[in-house]
Amino acid sequence: MIAIYTLWVREVKKYFRSKSRIIGSLGQPILFLVALGFGLGPIFQKAGQGNYIEFLVPGIISMSILFLAIFSGISVIWDRQFGFLKETLVAPVPRWQIMLGRTLGGATVAVMQGIIVFVISFLVGFHMQNWGLVFMAIVFMAMIALLFTALGTAIASVLEDMHGFQLIMNFLVMPIFFLSGALFPLSNLPKALKIIVMFDPLSYGVDGLRGTLGGVAQFSLLTDFWVLAVIVAALVAIGSYLFSKIQV
């Protein structure tokens, strides 16, 4: 367990040592909040859907966590190419502990990013509906972060180099985000699209955050929680297995 804690702390310290990384990773969420929030807000309101900023913020928080978490997992490829991973794997500890420590560290950093975006959202007009649900919102942030850090690690464990990175971005990460309901309501969707949305794990994370932060959820919070919990457990197990098979 000492190995898990050590790797966890190392990943968090690595994030805070890079000030440019912190600032750079906030650029996209702020752009989405301002450009979409104020640009599409009047249209959203005229359509009778209410305040778009209130609707958008949970989706942007989820987006911020998604990208940072998946990149944290995929950094395994970078570490393998430059020999950093070999130094870690020779340690006399089970590989699943190494994977779990990295996953917890990456997820912690992603949650911190989500909290920062949450705080910034108040500057663009967001209002928290029920402050008693803040802790539950952080729980959903943590589950989204764990899910996609574990997914990134699982993917990185089977990729040999960074050449497949763009493939992952274009055919996995972007569809997961855009089909999660982060930017549009899930009601009145075409049947085929609604089925796809139901199989998108981020849909339940966005819905959980929207229910806790905005008071409106497509599914129940209990459904969101258990679906995410099952997927997180499955991906951590798969990621641990694949990570243990890495050849360096």
Tens of pLDDT, residue by residue over 131-170, are: 889 999 999 999 999 999 999 888 888 877 777 766 776 7
Give 205's contacts (C-beta < 8 A, 6+ positions apart): 62, 65, 140, 143, 144, 147, 180, 224, 228
Burial 108-130 (b: 16+ CB within 10 A, else e): bbbbbbbbbbbebbeebebebee
Looking at residue 226, its pLDDT comes to 96
Residues 6+ apart with CB under 8 A from 220: none
164 conformational bin, left if phi > 0, alpha if psi -120 to 50, beta if neither: alpha
Distance of alpha carbon 67 from alpha carbon 25, whole angstroms: 9
| Sequence-separated contacts (24+) of 33-40 with Cβ below 8 Å | 33/57, 33/60, 33/117, 33/120, 33/121, 33/124, 34/124, 36/183, 37/124, 37/125, 38/124
pLDDT of residue 19: 57
Q: How far is CA 214 from CA 58, 117, 129, 177, in A?
A: 8, 15, 5, 19
Predicted local distance difference test score (pLDDT) of residue 83: 65
Position 200 scores a pLDDT of: 93
Q: Tell me, what's the pLDDT at 20?
A: 59
Indicate whether this model's pTM tops 0.85: yes
pLDDT of residue 37: 81
Q: What is the pLDDT of residue 76?
A: 78
CA distance 127 to 139: 19
pLDDT of the residue at 238: 92
**Phi and psi dihedrals of 102, rounded to 5?**
-65, -40
The CA distance from 160 to 132, in Å, is 46
CA-based nearest residue to 4, from 133, 157, 106, 148: 106
> Are the C-beta atoms of 120 and 33 separated by less than 8 Å?
yes
* Residue 12: partners with Cβ closer than 8 Å, 6 or more residues away: 105, 108, 109
Token reading at 13: 């310290």
Q: What residue ranges of the chain have pLDDT lower than 70?
A: 1-5, 7-8, 11, 14-22, 47-49, 82-87, 89-92, 165-166, 169, 248
What is the Cα–Cα distance from 175 to 179, expressed in whole angstroms?
6
